[in-house]
Amino acid sequence: MKNIDIKSLIIGALFTSTVLLGMASTGPNDKWDDKQQWEFRDWKRTDIPAGWEPLRLTADGVSRVWCRRRIK
């Protein structure tokens, strides 16, 4: 029975994950350009409406989430 070298296994797994994540990062129909406009707003953690993308969490006594949505 053959033994698998752990170093080669880790390198193979990292390479495979890099390739898979690189292929999934963008699509052919993405419309990214320099003229995009975003609206930013902070919400309570449980009040985020649909269409808003969470960016960061603030921990200043009140749990709030900064979100954005594309307007143009």
The pLDDT tens digits of the residues spanning 14-72 come to 999 998 887 766 666 766 677 888 898 887 777 788 888 888 887 766 678 888 888 87
pTM for this entry: 0.45
- Give 36-40 contacts, CB < 8 A, sequence gap 24+: 36/70, 36/72, 37/70, 37/71, 37/72, 38/68, 38/69, 38/70, 38/71, 39/68, 39/69, 39/70, 39/71, 40/66, 40/67, 40/68
Q: Parse the chain into domains and list their residue ranges.
A: 35-72
